[in-house]
Structure 1
Amino acid sequence: MNRVVVVTGASSGIGRELAVQLAERGDTVVLAARGEEALDETAEACQRAGGECLVVPTDVSQREEVERLRRAAIEAYGGFDAWVNNAGVTYFATLTSGEMDDHVRVVETNLFGAMYGARAAVTHFLERGRGVLVNVSSILGKTGQPFVPSYVISKHGIRGLSEALRAELADEPDIHVCTIFPYATDTPHFELAGTNMNRRARAMPPAQSPEAVARAIVRLLDRPRREVHVPRIAAAGLLLTKLFPKTSERLLLHALREFHFDERLESKGEGNLYEPTGEPGHVHGDRPPQVSTPKLAVWAVRELARIEADEARRFFRRRAGRPPRGVRETPRRRHDDHAPRP
Structure 2
Amino acid sequence: MEPTRSEIVVITGASAGVGRATARLYARRGAWIVLVARGRDGLRAAAEEVEALGGRALVQPADVSDARQVEAVAEAAEEAFGPIDVWVNCAFATVFAPFAEITAEEYARVTDVAYHGFVNGTRAALARMLPRDRGTVVQVGSALGERAIPLQSAYCGAKHAVNGFTSAVRTELLHRHSRVRVTVVQLPAVNTPQFSWVRSRLRGHPSPVPPIYQPEVAARAIVHAAGHPGRKQYLVGAATWATIWANRLAPAALDRYLARTAFDTQQTDARPESPPGGNLFTPSDDLPGTDAGAHGVFDTCSHPHSWHAALSRHRGTVTAAATAAAGAAVLAVRSLRR
Could you say which TM-score interval applies, normalised by the shorter chain? 0.7 to 0.9
| CA–CA separation in structure 2 for the residues paired with 1:172 and 1:253 | 45
RMSD of equivalent CA atoms: 1.8
Q: Deviation string for 1:229-270 (max 9, x for gaps)? A: 111552232212222222212222333233221112338722
How much has 1:165 moved relative to structure 2? 0.6
Structure 1 counterpart of 2:211: 206
Q: How does 1:249-328 map to 2 (within 5 A)?
A: 249-266=255-272, 269-278=276-285, 279-288=290-299, 290=301
For structure 1, which runs of at least 5 residues remain unmatched after alignment?
A: 293-342
- Percent identity between the two aligned chains: 34
Paired residues, number: 292
For structure 2, which runs of at least 5 residues remain unmatched after alignment?
A: 304-338
Structure 2 counterpart of 1:296: none
TM-score normalised by structure 2 residue count? 0.82
How much has 1:290 moved relative to structure 2? 4.8
Tell me if the contact between 1:202 and 1:288 (Cα under 8 Å) persists in the aligned partners: no
Tell me if the contact between 1:198 and 1:268 (Cα under 8 Å) persists in the aligned partners: no
- 2:269 partner SS: strand
Structure 1 counterpart of 2:244: 238
Compared with structure 1, are the counterparts of its residues 199 and 268 closer, same or farther at alpha carbon in structure 2 (3 Å cutoff)? farther
| CA–CA separation in structure 1 for the residues paired with 2:82 and 2:238 | 36
Structure 2 counterpart of 1:190: 195
| CA–CA separation in structure 2 for the residues paired with 1:165 and 1:148 | 26
Q: How does 1:6-155 map to 2 (within 5 A)?
A: 6-155=10-159
- 2:161 partner SS: helix
Amino acid corresponding to residue 272 of structure 1 in structure 2: N
Amino acid corresponding to residue 103 of structure 1 in structure 2: Y
If each structure's helix is expressed as a fraction of its own residues, which one has the higher value? 2
* Higher Rg of the two aligned structures: 1
| CA–CA separation in structure 2 for the residues paired with 1:268 and 1:211 | 27
How much has 1:2 moved relative to structure 2? 1.8
Return structure 1 stretches of 4+ with deviation > 4 angstroms: 288-292
TM-score normalised by structure 1 residue count? 0.82
Tell me if the contact between 2:205 and 2:269 (Cα under 8 Å) persists in the aligned partners: yes
Tell me if the contact between 2:143 and 2:243 (Cα under 8 Å) persists in the aligned partners: no
